[in-house]
């Protein structure tokens, strides 16, 4: 059976830019375009030239090698010609190879929000499409609010879609702009629309307001559309757009899609999906979602002891796909519930090949359980677990020793009557028999300690140059300031690796210092040759 | 038309506890059970008594008022009687009103992972159900891997479900344990199963591995099941379980569900959904997801200028529901009006009756927005909001003033060669023109400051005698020890009231001290006669 082609249209740089807190520079857009172009999507919608300076500059050149470089904009205004509409002229004169127009399809919107007639709206669609084809560009028409429009006035909504198709649009995209439509409604409406526009010219664009953007997209594809719009990691206005990172492996691996349809993303690119998703989060300066389908750090993680031993016998018992296919990995966690088989898997992951009957395994397991009873948690702190294991197996040198530290915070009114707070720390470290003492100020006692400890590590100083603290989480375990404190520190370096270390103590400063010390030690361990 | 009842089964405390990084104490479980019980779910699965000390202690008492308190466990082992199976006996003897057994339904698993015969598995299901009914408890059977089992051997999978039903189980729950099943498969399989077990006795339990847990649950309900399992905010093993927080408003507000089905969550509880979701994240000490459907801070946020003005003309143009129905709010830059009516409600709650056109309302609104931009969050800190409001309306005396404080932490080896850490704090306070200076040691700098500040409050000392710190949470807002820190303190006193105060600063000690100071001030305010 020959497979039908399914086209992927990425709108990360356009609809994704509507995400609260996200703002792309031209440089960001260039970087993301490269990621998408290598992934194998068919269209990259880069923005709205004319709407702001970033997008206008971005569309001065064609930025893609493989994908069709696409500009977004509004159909021409009613009451003026395409030639006299500066918005449309800006699109036609940009470096884009395709133009994606947003067109109204909801009778209520046309009358109320735009104040034009239904016929004027149809004419605007037609002439915008025709002008695009005359400019030798491919034309795509997003029918905004299509599903709400259909429920209000099906004939008119369909006539908008049909007008775009008849005028020569390559794709007519049905949009669930408000995100409130259910999958079965999508399927029924898409089926009906195909009496007027063939599925091979229909697309789908949905939002995640009921947590069903992926399901709604798949429902439309099952019903016949052959073009899907989405964004990396599902960013987008409100609850986000359909998540390309979940859709791509579903199309590639799940029936009936993988049997009947073909996408432009190859096997090798699929193996890069986890890394791409995390790179994109890096760019947005946010921590990747651990629970993200297919690509999250927890997507193939197992905590329960019984599940862990079953998974080692037969991975398909708790894994719906082989994680390697999307570049992810199995993650059997060490926790209260862990057994020995769990432990062996984790040890292998951190580079320790241990025999099943090595007596030190029991020793390590006891240590883990004893420390977890005291408040440590290793399922979120792989690096600390790796250090604990190496210490137990005698494979960790003591790079440096902390002799003592002191930190103080003082708040008072200064000579000008301003309230000021000063934090200072002194750390005394022994490296190779030599005592090094450093002092630093910080914007808090932990920050000051961190700076003081890393200020001078003697011969190791060069090796921690690129160590950077990303996040710092504090959890009080029994309630009240008198309880046990667990601190989790996330670090990264220039290789792009992120690691997590943990510290526990009744004293928040001790716990923080332990996690910081572990992070530095892990960095030294991994740079040991 | 009379509506059919749809039953909600919450497994936050059981399957949700499989989430990487999540560990519940007994106290946590009690707090979460209260939230769920007030929400109106029908079943609260509290854990697995016998599996660990926390769950065993939790099941010593019935913890619910409205919902059915449910224990999870395995069906009896093959080759021994129910009477001789300590696991099953533990369940039967617990305070649970219902038992939810996990039973195998996949031929491959039974033979490979368990090494028993298909008939032995069926017998284990039957006798476990029968023993539960004899113990006068309700019985629920989770058919693990049901959908994978059905694809491998439909007759056997169905015979497991039917055995549970025939033995008297109130609910037979079909589980997509690996999370790889598509909604249309779910719908078809559920339809077929109903030839053997009626939908009024069927449930659905799915995971989010293809980002379709919500859609899969809805597909099963459309096909006829009347019991759905899920978790708060969709926590759970790997990519999580079906998200109750997305399912509940969909059942309550979306067709065909709201027309045909009735759930135990009323209109008032629905209005508390946003707050509940955020409280749960607070408990997990993690930031609520902004893009979360229905309840996220961005769920009704509009960034695009054109969208923003359209939304003011007609909210339905970019909102699929009225955000107030789920206790959320529209987030458009110009929504002062919505903000103000909100504010009046909250003020009334903290005992301040203010006129709608009082100019100080604008002042307070500005203050709140300005402080939230700096990292404060009043969602979880009612007491701090009450103080801010009273300060703005000139209704808060300054009970005492902190002139200065100093705290230090020192770690060193003592004369015996033991590593010790000492924390000390000095606080200088002015009460009625008199300077009081106190010093205290604590098991950390914050504890020491707390003790020193409360040691001598002059004439107020008696009024804070019963003030007790319950919990103390720290969140770093921008990542790294150099970022802004938000501290949330929970306090209580002999009246049983609990209150939350917040402090924000780049310095963790300053932020902690602010939250402690606010807590003491709140206690003084509420004892002012």
**Model confidence pLDDT, tens digit, residues B196-211:** 999 999 999 999 999 9
CATH number, span A7-265: 3.20.20.70
Boundaries of CATH 3.20.20.70 in chain A? Answer: 7-265
Quick one: pLDDT at residue B333?
38
Q: Do A113 and B246 touch (CB under 8 A)?
A: no
Interface-testing mutation among B210, B300, B486, with chain A (most A C-beta atoms within 10 A): B210
Quick one: pLDDT at residue A3?
95
DSSP assignment letter at A38? H
Q: Which residues of B touch A307 (CB under 8 A)?
A: 237
In 3D, which of B259, B227, B230 has the Cα closest to residue B247? B230
Interface-testing mutation among B216, B239, B318, with chain A (most A C-beta atoms within 10 A): B239
Q: Which residues of chain A have pLDDT under 50?
A: 480
Instruction: Give the residue carrying structure tokens 């760019």.
Output: A283
Distance between CA atoms of B29 and B48, rounded to whole angstroms?
12
Q: What is the largest CA-CA distance in chain A?
A: 87
Distance between CA atoms of B134 and B99, rounded to whole angstroms?
12
Q: Which residues of A touch B184 (CB under 8 A)?
A: 222
DSSP assignment letter at B240? -
Quick one: pLDDT at residue A378?
80
Q: Which residues of A touch B23 (CB under 8 A)?
A: 335-336, 377
Distance between CA atoms of A488 and A384, rounded to whole angstroms?
10
Hey, is B10 helix, strand or coil?
strand
Q: pLDDT, tens digit, for every residue of A217-271?
A: 999 999 999 999 999 999 999 999 999 999 999 999 999 999 999 999 999 999 9
Query: Residue B267, CB half-sphere, CA atoms under 13 Å: how many?
Result: 2
Nearest to A212 among B214, B235, B294 (CB): B214
A238 φψ region: left (φ > 0), alpha (ψ -120 to 50), beta (else): left
Q: What is the mean pLDDT of chain B?
A: 90
Burial class, B236, CB count within 10 angstroms (exposed 0-12 / middle 13-18 / buried 19+): buried
Q: Do B506 and A444 touch (CB under 8 A)?
A: yes
Q: Do A214 and B219 touch (CB under 8 A)?
A: no
Quick one: pLDDT at residue B231?
98
In 3D, which of A192, A205, A198, A220 has the Cα closest to residue A146? A205
Decide if A503 contacts A439 (C-beta within 8 A): no
Q: Which residue of chain B is at minimal alpha-carbon distance from A475? A: B473
Distance between CA atoms of B521 and B383, rounded to whole angstroms?
10
Give per-residue burial for B190-200: e unless 16+ CB within 10 Å, then b. Answer: beebbeebebe
Q: Do A177 and B405 touch (CB under 8 A)?
A: no
Q: Which residues of B touch A235 (CB under 8 A)?
A: 291
Interface-testing mutation among A72, A152, A403, A411, with chain B (most B C-beta atoms within 10 A): A411
Nearest to B320 among A112, A178, A475 (CB): A178
CA of A6 vs chain B CAs: smallest distance (Å): 19
Q: Which residues of A touch B423 (CB under 8 A)?
A: 507, 509
CA angle A452, A456, A459 (to 5 degrees): 155
Boundaries of CATH 3.30.160.270 in chain B? Answer: 401-526
Distance between CA atoms of A505 and B409, rounded to whole angstroms?
13
Tell the CATH superfamily of the A401-526 domain: Alpha-isopropylmalate synthase LeuA, regulatory domain (3.30.160.270)
CB–CB contacts below 8 A, A to B: 337
CA–CA distance from A314 to each of A327, B59, B103, B111, B147 (Å)?
A: 20, 33, 18, 12, 17
Nearest to B411 among A254, A336, A404 (CB): A404
Q: pLDDT, tens digit, for every residue of B363-372?
A: 888 888 788 7
Nearest to A482 among B443, B483, B505 (CB): B443
Hey, is A296 helix, strand or coil?
coil
Q: Do B481 and A450 touch (CB under 8 A)?
A: yes
Cis peptide before B256 (omega within 30 of 0): yes
Nearest to A475 among B113, B285, B481 (CB): B285
Instruction: Give the residue carrying structure tokens 């100019």.
Output: B359
Quick one: pLDDT at residue B336?
33
Q: Which residue of chain A is at minimal alpha-carbon distance from B15? A: A304
Q: Which residues of B touch A18 (CB under 8 A)?
A: 303-304
B466 pLDDT above the threshold of 90: yes
Residues 6+ apart with CB under 8 A from B332: B301, B302, B308, B311, B312
Q: Which residues of A touch B444 (CB under 8 A)?
A: 481, 485, 506-510
Decide if A178 contacts B320 (C-beta within 8 A): yes
CA of A125 vs chain B CAs: smallest distance (Å): 19
Distance between CA atoms of A478 and B346, rounded to whole angstroms?
31
CB atoms within 10 A of CB B296: 24
Distance between CA atoms of B206 and A320, rounded to whole angstroms?
12
Burial class, A404, CB count within 10 angstroms (exposed 0-12 / middle 13-18 / buried 19+): middle
Distance between CA atoms of A85 and A93, rounded to whole angstroms?
12
Quick one: pLDDT at residue A54?
87
Alpha helices, DSSP H only, in A195-330? 213-223, 244-253, 257-260, 267-271, 273-284, 305-313
Distance of alpha carbon A269 from the chain centroid:
17
Nearest to B423 among A145, A219, A507 (CB): A507
Structure token pair of residue B216 = 């899969």
CA of A64 vs chain B CAs: smallest distance (Å): 26
Burial class, A370, CB count within 10 angstroms (exposed 0-12 / middle 13-18 / buried 19+): exposed
Interface-testing mutation among B18, B19, B21, with chain A (most A C-beta atoms within 10 A): B21
Distance between CA atoms of A231 and A251, rounded to whole angstroms?
15
CA of A3 vs chain B CAs: smallest distance (Å): 20
CA angle B337, B340, B344 (to 5 degrees): 145
Q: Do A469 and B481 touch (CB under 8 A)?
A: yes
Hey, is B476 helix, strand or coil?
strand
Q: Which residues of A touch B517 (CB under 8 A)?
A: none
pTM reported for the whole predicted model: 0.77
Distance between CA atoms of B292 and B287, rounded to whole angstroms?
11
Q: Do A509 and B290 touch (CB under 8 A)?
A: no
For the sheet with B468-476, list strands across it: A498-505, A485-492, A468-476, B468-476, B485-492, B498-505
Of A117-121, A273-277, B452-456, B497-501, least confident by mean pLDDT is B497-501
CA of A30 vs chain B CAs: smallest distance (Å): 22
Decide if A246 contacts A214 (C-beta within 8 A): yes
β-bridge partners, B141 = B101, B172
Q: pLDDT, tens digit, for every residue of B79-99?
A: 899 999 999 999 999 999 999
Residues 6+ apart with CB under 8 A from A319: A300, A311, A330, B178
Distance between CA atoms of B437 and B452, rounded to whole angstroms?
8
CB atoms within 10 A of CB B359: 7
Q: Name the percent of chain B lying above pLDDT 90.
A: 68
Boundaries of CATH 3.20.20.70 in chain B? Answer: 4-265
CA of B355 vs chain A CAs: smallest distance (Å): 33
CA–CA distance from A119 to each of A33, A79, A152, A160 (Å)?
A: 38, 12, 17, 10
Decide if B422 contacts B439 (C-beta within 8 A): no
Distance between CA atoms of B212 and A218, rounded to whole angstroms?
10
Decide if A424 contacts A441 (C-beta within 8 A): yes
Decide if A329 contacts A300 (C-beta within 8 A): yes
CA of B358 vs chain A CAs: smallest distance (Å): 32
The ipTM is 0.77
Q: Do B313 and A113 touch (CB under 8 A)?
A: yes
Give, in words, the CATH class of B4-265.
Answer: alpha beta
CA of A473 vs chain B CAs: smallest distance (Å): 6
Quick one: pLDDT at residue B337?
37
Decide if B211 contacts B203 (C-beta within 8 A): no
CA angle A264, A270, A353 (to 5 degrees): 165
Q: Which residues of B touch A182 (CB under 8 A)?
A: 218, 254-255
Secondary structure percentages of chain B, helix, strand, coil, to 5: 45, 20, 35
Residues 6+ apart with CB under 8 A from B18: A303, A304, B236, B237
Distance between CA atoms of A9 and B16, rounded to whole angstroms?
35
Q: Do A299 and B209 touch (CB under 8 A)?
A: yes
Nearest to B319 among A112, A178, A478 (CB): A178
Q: Which residues of B touch A482 (CB under 8 A)?
A: 442-443, 447, 469
Quick one: pLDDT at residue B363?
87
Nearest to A215 among B209, B212, B450 (CB): B212
């Amino acid at each position: 059976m020959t497979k039908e082609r399914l086209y992927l249209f990425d709108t990360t740089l356009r609809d994704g830019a509507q995400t609260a807190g996200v703002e792309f520079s031209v440089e960001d857009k260039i970087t993301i375009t490269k990621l998408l172009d290598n992934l194998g999507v068919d269209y990259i919608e880069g923005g709205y030239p004319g709407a702001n300076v970033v997008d206008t500059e971005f569309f001065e050149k064609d930025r893609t090698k493989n994908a069709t470089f696409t500009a977004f904009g509004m159909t021409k205004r009613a009451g003026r010609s395409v030639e006299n509409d500066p918005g449309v002229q800006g699109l036609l004169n940009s470096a884009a190879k395709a133009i994606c127009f947003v067109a109204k399809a909801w009778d209520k919107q046309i009358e109320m929000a735009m104040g034009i007639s239904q016929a004027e709206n149809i004419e605007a669609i037609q002439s915008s499409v025709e002008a695009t084809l005359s400019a030798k560009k491919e034309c795509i028409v997003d029918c905004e609010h299509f599903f709400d429009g259909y429920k209000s006035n099906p004939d008119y909504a369909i006539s908008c879609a049909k007008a775009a198709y008849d005028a020569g649009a390559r794709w007519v995209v049905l949009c669930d702009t408000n995100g409130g439509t259910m999958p079965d409604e999508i399927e029924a409406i898409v089926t009906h629309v195909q009496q007027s526009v063939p599925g091979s010219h229909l697309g789908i664009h949905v939002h995640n307001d009921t947590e069903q953007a992926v399901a709604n997209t798949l429902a439309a594809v099952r019903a016949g559309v052959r073009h899907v719009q989405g964004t990396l990691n599902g960013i987008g206005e409100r609850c986000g757009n359909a998540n390309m990172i979940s859709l791509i492996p579903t199309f590639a691996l799940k029936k009936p899609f993988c049997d009947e349809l073909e996408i432009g993303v190859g096997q090798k690119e699929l193996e890069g999906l986890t890394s791409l998703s995390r790179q994109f989060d890096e760019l947005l300066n946010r921590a990747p979602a651990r629970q993200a389908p297919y690509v999250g750090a927890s997507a193939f993680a197992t905590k329960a002891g019984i599940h862990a031993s079953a998974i080692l016998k037969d991975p398909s018992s708790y894994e719906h796909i082989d994680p390697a296919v999307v570049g992810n990995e199995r993650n059997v966690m060490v926790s209260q519930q862990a057994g020995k088989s769990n432990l062996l898997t984790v040890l292998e992951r951190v580079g320790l090949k241990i025999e099943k009957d090595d007596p030190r395994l029991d020793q390590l397991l006891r240590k883990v359980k004893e420390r977890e009873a005291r408040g440590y948690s290793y399922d979120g702190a792989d690096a600390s677990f790796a250090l604990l294991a190496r210490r137990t197996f005698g494979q960790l040198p003591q790079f440096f020793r902390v002799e003592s530290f002191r930190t103080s915070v003082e708040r008072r009114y200064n000579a000008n009557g301003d309230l000021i707070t000063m934090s200072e720390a002194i750390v005394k470290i022994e490296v190779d028999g030599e005592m090094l003492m450093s002092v630093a100020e910080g914007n808090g006692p932990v920050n000051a300690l961190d700076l003081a400890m890393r200020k001078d590590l003697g011969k190791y100083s060069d090796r921690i140059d690129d160590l950077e603290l990303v996040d710092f989480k504090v959890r009080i375990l029994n309630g009240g300031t008198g309880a046990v404190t667990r601190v989790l520190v996330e670090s990264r370096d220039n290789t792009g690796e992120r690691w997590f270390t943990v510290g526990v103590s009744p004293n928040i400063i001790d716990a923080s210092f332990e996690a910081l010390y572990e992070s530095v030690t892990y960095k030294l361990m991994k740079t040991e040759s």
